[in-house]
Amino acid sequence: MATNEARGHVTVVGSLNMDLVARAPRMPQPGETLAGHAFAQVAGGKGGNQAVAAARLGAQVAMLGCVGADANGAQLRAGLEAEGIDCTALETSATAPTGVALIIVDDGSQNSIVIIAGSNGEVTPETLARHEAALAGAQVVICQLETPPAAVHAALAAAHRLGKTVILNPAPATGPLPDGWLALIDYLIPNELEAAMLTGLPVSSPEQALAAASALRRAGARNVIVTIGAQGVVAALGDDDPLHFDAPRVKAVDTTAAGDTFIGGFAAQLARGANVTEAIRFAQRAASISVTCAGAQPSIPTRAQVDTP
């Protein structure tokens, strides 16, 4: 296992958004105006969240993406740099505003999110070509689906060609992945909703998650890890029998960025040399801490917090 001093390199290719978060007693019905409890504006976006998570949880991190030439973009860039994240490959659009996410969190700590891509839509295969050095310098490369599909495919293909460990968080998922993508991915990590979209199977229990993970393995995925919230994690790893990892028991306050925390922690551990089982359990502990705090990036713990008994 890696020593405490070892720090692997992780590159995240993905989105950065300014999150506009409203807390309300429940989700509003169509046409309804509902009084909320509180409002906050915090840094987010799956790419940004996963980059911050990997950095706080022990990795050296580079961010590849695009923000707007506006106050939100400047704030997001400054926030990443404050975490020690290399932003050399973070471009600034001259025309598109920084991405925004509108988030409602209810009293049950569940959330609904609407994303406006903005400058995230300007990440292209050409962007990847300009910044291939950011991929070459990493042990682990993480992608999601909040940037254009052509750019995601370019990132997966380049990272695979360079011999990196490739993680895809297929979020947001709208259906099966395009042909040829699974062969480029080492670890496919959906949540239960995304696993259902990828497979067309219901996924609301560990047993159903196991079935979905096995179906994705049969479709060509090498390793599939399905996160199912308080029910834990299901992993179909190589040719081994699928495994179920129980989730730590905590009182959830806000589940925003729990999945991103899991992925950042998992990637950080792999980059440090941990085995997959160790990486999953570490990532689960990190995610369990994140749900006890409000907000996206503000809720992501440090490595010291996760390592403290």
Catalytic residue numbers read: 260
For CA atoms 234, 166, 62, 78, give the dihedral sign. negative
Query: 56 with 181: CB under 8 angstroms?
Result: no
Backbone φ and ψ for 208, nearest 5 degrees, come out as -70, -35
Structure tokens at 131: 């910044």
Instruction: Please tell me the distance from the alpha carbon of residue 156 to that of residue 183, in angstroms, as a whole number.
Output: 10
99 closest CA partner among 86, 115, 111, 112: 115
Query: 29 with 54: CB under 8 angstroms?
Result: no
For the CA atoms of 69, 112, 59, 146, the dihedral, rounded to the nearest 10 degrees, stands at -50
Cite the beta strand spans of 109-154 per DSSP E. 111-116, 140-143
Q: Give me the residue label for tokens 């890890």.
A: 225
Q: Is 12 helix (H, G, I), strand (E, B) or coil?
A: strand
* Per-position DSSP letters for 242-304, written without gaps between them: PEEEPPPP---S--TTHHHHHHHHHHHHHHHT--HHHHHHHHHHHHHHHTTSSSSGGGPPPHH
Pairing of strands 140-143, 111-116: unpaired
Instruction: Please tell me the distance from the alpha carbon of residue 89 to that of residue 106, in angstroms, as a whole number.
Output: 36
Query: 122 with 275: CB under 8 angstroms?
Result: no
